[in-house]
């Protein structure tokens, strides 16, 4: 790597180290794995919320509970589908 005479100072050093760190992360697909783990964790949390909601409202009819859970989880499932598509496209 060739450096210019003006490449000095703490900001240039920080930018160089950040670039090297990102090259390390990108070469090993760590970013893609981290996003997949975060999406998986979010899926677990949405399911836990749905179960807690169902337990907390035993007086509501089943169809109403199902509609509420579907309304909350549908956008997250769209995010999950897009993230998984990105993950598997990146792996090929």
- Dist. CA 7–CA 77, nearest whole Å: 46
Q: Is residue 62 part of a domain?
A: yes
Q: Is residue 50 part of a domain?
A: yes
Q: Is residue 23 part of a domain?
A: no
Contact 18, 63 (CB under 8 A): no
Domain extent for 73: 29-91
Q: Is residue 17 part of a domain?
A: no
Three-state DSSP at 61 gives: coil
Contact 84, 32 (CB under 8 A): no
pLDDT, tens digit (0-9, with 9 covering 90-100), for 33-91: 888 899 999 999 999 999 999 999 999 999 999 999 999 999 999 998 998 888 778 76
To the question of pTM greater than 0.75 for the whole model, the response is no
Q: How confident is the model at residue 32 (pLDDT cuts 50, 70, 90)?
A: confident
Report how many domains make up the chain.
1
Q: Is residue 5 part of a domain?
A: no
- Dist. CA 44–CA 16, nearest whole Å: 38
The gap between the terminal CA atoms of the chain, to the nearest Å, is: 30
Q: Is residue 41 part of a domain?
A: yes
């Amino acid at each position: 790597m060739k450096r210019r005479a003006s490449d000095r100072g703490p900001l240039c050093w920080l930018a160089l180290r950040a670039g090297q760190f990102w090259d390390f992360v990108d070469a090993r697909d760590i970013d893609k794995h981290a996003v997949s783990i975060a999406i998986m964790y979010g899926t677990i949390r949405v399911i836990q919320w749905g179960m807690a909601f169902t337990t907390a409202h035993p007086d509501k009819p089943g169809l109403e509970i199902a509609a509420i859970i579907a309304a909350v989880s549908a956008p997250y499932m769209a995010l999950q589908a897009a993230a998984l598509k990105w993950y598997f496209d990146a792996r090929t």
